[in-house]
Structure 1
Amino acid sequence: MIDSSNWQTFKEALKLALQAEPLGMQAQVGMAPLPDVSQRFDKESAKKARQSAVMVLLYHEEGRIKFPLIVRPQYPGVHSGQIALPGGKFEEEDQNLIQTALRETHEEVGVSMHQVEVVGQLSELYVPPSNFNILPVIGLLSEVPQFILEEKEVEELVIADINVLNDKTKRKQKQMTFYSGINVDVPYFDIEDRVVWGATAMILNEFATIIHNINSKK
């Protein structure tokens, strides 16, 4: 288990782990909606997709290391009402996808780009339903953030403890009906009694693998 008593040690271990080759499909696929996941790992489709980035934003509070998730509002689209990491699409003003993640995090949850120490990134992930290729960025905060939500883009904030990612009792599965009308078996994280699935769960599964590896070296 990781808590804020070893925050500095954790930060250094995390930075070192993120310097290694990204874990990619082998870590992401464990939380992929079944049965057919081949499209999600189609490299050619990913190259042609719209580019985007999300932020896993870590901070310590009350003896725990935490990160925010956002609840998307209801809208006519494939990701309506879903739980996600702060983030969004690449804009021409962005120098790169890391800046996209920083800018979107500021816009959606009010955390200044200058407060975030970017320490690395996870594997890119292609999302066929919306044709986005996502770069997950890992950022650290030295203080507890004061979140200010962008009401048009964020309906609610969910604060997660990183230890939940490797808690086997929080990994569940249910059948869901996709927008296309197909019934699909979906693995998900139960975080604060919320269903965190799809691309967000796949990204968090890679991060969970990194956290597990750090814990196993203690």
Structure 2
Amino acid sequence: MIRWLQQQLQTAPNGRSLPLNYRAAAVLLPLYEQNGGFHLLYTRRTDLLPTHKGQVAFPGGKLNGHEETAVAAALRETHEEVGILPHDVKVLGCLEPVETNYGRFVVTPVVGRIPWPYPLQINRAEVATTFGVPLRWLLNPANIDHQAEHRYTFRPYAGETIWGLTGWITTNFLQLLQPAVNEIED
């Protein structure tokens, strides 16, 4: 599946210019294998942060200036938030960037495979907890909450709800995976 996934992902964002008054950001979708299946690693932000308190997120943040790439920013932020060293991430590629009106960001999702188990070192000022969700669970249509107030909301998994921008990015990733569903579910 990993080789197929690499072929489907963009090698890098297409370098499109940002809409006026938007800022560039990037997140890492940390993909790992456990118990014979692939999982995505999520974080839950602390209540100490000024925005998106207590929300489920992928590690990531703003790019530092025009010189930093989305991949470099995603790896830097992941290291800062959960302690995964950049050289331990095998970058597989990028999803299409998404625009969010809240905060006016264009966010590039970077998909990377990480070794597992991994000795995470959580930055408690930013991250309350981390948790993994099996792709098999995410791909099950019964786990999408169609009654939720916000689009792209999943039913709670281990007490955590994936929604909003993180749900949107997760959904985009799952749509990319659809042709390989049988391989994931085997």
2:153 is matched by which residue type in structure 1? Y
Match of 1:211 among 168, 172, 177: 177
Contact 2:150 2:164 in 1 (8 A): no
Q: Distance in 2 between matches of 1:102 and 1:48?
A: 25
Among 1, 9, 16, the alignment partner of 2:7 is 16
Alpha carbons of structure 1 residues 112 and 169: separation in structure 2 relative to 1, 3 Å: same
Deviation at 1:160, TM superposition (A): 1.0
Aligned partners of 1:217 and 1:111: how far apart in 2? 27
Aligned equivalent of 2:145: 172
User: In structure 2, what residue type is equivalent to 1:17?
Assistant: Q
Report how far residue 144 of structure 1 moved.
Answer: 2.5
Structure-1 separation of matches of 2:115 and 2:67: 24
Q: Separation in 2 of the partners of 1:94 and 1:69?
A: 27
1:87 aligns with 60
In 2, are the aligned partners of 1:123 and 1:135 still within 8 Å (CA)?
yes
* Change in 2 beyond 3 A, CA 1:94/1:160: farther
Q: Per-residue deviation at 1:211?
A: 1.4
Picking from 121, 136, 143, the partner of 1:148 is 121
Structure 1 214/144 Cα, relative in aligned 2: closer, same or farther at 3 Å?
A: same
Alignment partner, residue 189 of structure 1: 154
Preserved contact between residue 40 and residue 133 of structure 2 (Cα < 8 Å) = yes
Name the residue aligned to 1:116. 89
Runs of 4+ in 1 over 6 A off after TM superposition: none
Q: Superposition RMSD on alpha carbons, in Å?
A: 2.6
* Residues in 1 aligned to 2:106 and 2:22: alpha-carbon distance in whole angstroms: 6
What stretches of structure 1 of length at least 5 have no aligned partner?
1-9, 23-42, 176-183
Q: 1:72-94 CA distances to partner (integer Å, 9 max, x unpaired)? A: 11147441211000111111496
* 3-state SS of paired residue (2:175): helix
Amino acid at match of 2:163: W
CA distance in 2, matches of 1:174, 1:89: 32
Percentage of matched positions with identical amino acids: 26
**Partners of 2:48 and 2:126 within 8 A in 1:** no
* Structure 2 stretches lacking a partner, 5+ long: none
Between the aligned partners of 2:146 and 2:88, the Cα distance in structure 1 is 36
Q: Is the 8 A contact 2:26 2:110 kept in 1?
A: yes
State the secondary structure of the residue aligned to 1:152: coil
Letter in 2 for 1:90: L
How far has the Cα of 1:141 moved from its partner? 2.1
Task: Give the superposition deviation at 1:125.
Answer: 1.0
- Kept in 2, the 8 Å contact 1:125–1:134? The answer is yes
Residue 202 of structure 1 corresponds to 168
Query: CA 1:145–1:79 in 2, change beyond 3 Å: closer, same or farther?
Result: same
CA offsets, 1:183-204, max 9 Å, x none? x544411233322111111111
Question: Contact between 2:18 and 2:24, CA under 8 Å: does it hold in 1?
Answer: no
**What SS class does the counterpart of residue 169 from structure 2 fall into?**
helix
Q: Which one-letter code corresponds to 1:206 in the other structure?
A: N
